[in-house]
Amino acid sequence: MAADESWQKICDDYGILNHDFVDSPFILSADQIKTACQDFKRTGEKEVRILCMQDSRKKQPKVFTDNNLFLLPVRNGVYAIIKGEGYVDIPEIDSAPISYDSNLPFLPDTSRVGSSEMQHLDYAYASSLIRNFMGDDSLILTIRGRKYTSELSFVVGEHKNRITVNGVQTEVDAGYEGLKQVLLIEAKNTAIDNVVIRQLYYPFRLWQMHTKKKVHSFFFEKRGERYCFWRFVFDDVEDYNSIRFVDSVRFSIANKHS
């Protein structure tokens, strides 16, 4: 991939592979990345945003995969290079799809235009599918879009010392609050088999600070005509790697007006 040479040079320039990762992550700034990559020609080889967009294992540079490293943003323009496992698998759903009868009195024309993840989530919510499978008629859409984290401290990877994150942009594709629970959903519109834990962990920690209700973390994809949900929990709130897959389910939505 285009980032392989860039990240190899970054690691060489700053001696990253010689760092004592048992003690702590390696802290790297956006300015350092720009300096190391200033002589590369292509945007994908020098643009910080693109180089640091590593939301699945296949987007990691070779030097990271070869050395069991991954990247986490910790402040605005500051990243931590972590030794350990930064991703969680999205397993295949083997169970048969469950047919769900939409509660909508009509089939919205606009729901069939385009193919964005939020569009599919909105239709699943409007048809009451999300309320139904969570068994909670009180759920309402209350969270969407980008927020910045407050200060978070946690253990991660193979390091003996905690790291602190503050003011990092995070995003929830859809969040629903009910009388006793909050449901956070990270959604994709293309099939993937793993995702960086950060996309579930940072929103979980952020919103847990603002409510005493139970906070649930889900991953969502629409695969063909199936609406697929994967539930994850963090067994230790302050441990990034304590994520655990719980269960999954997929639905087909039937609408008598279609």
- Report residue 116's pLDDT band, with 50, 70 and 90 as the boundaries: confident
Structure tokens at 193: 């088999």
For residue 219, pLDDT beyond 90: yes
For residue 67, pLDDT beyond 70: yes
- Give the integer Cα–Cα distance in Å for 160 and 128: 45
β-pairing verdict for 181-188 and 214-223:
parallel
Q: Which tens digits make up the pLDDT trace of 120-147?
A: 999 999 999 999 999 999 999 999 989 9
Contact 170, 147 (CB under 8 A): yes
Question: What is the per-residue pLDDT for 107?
Answer: 83
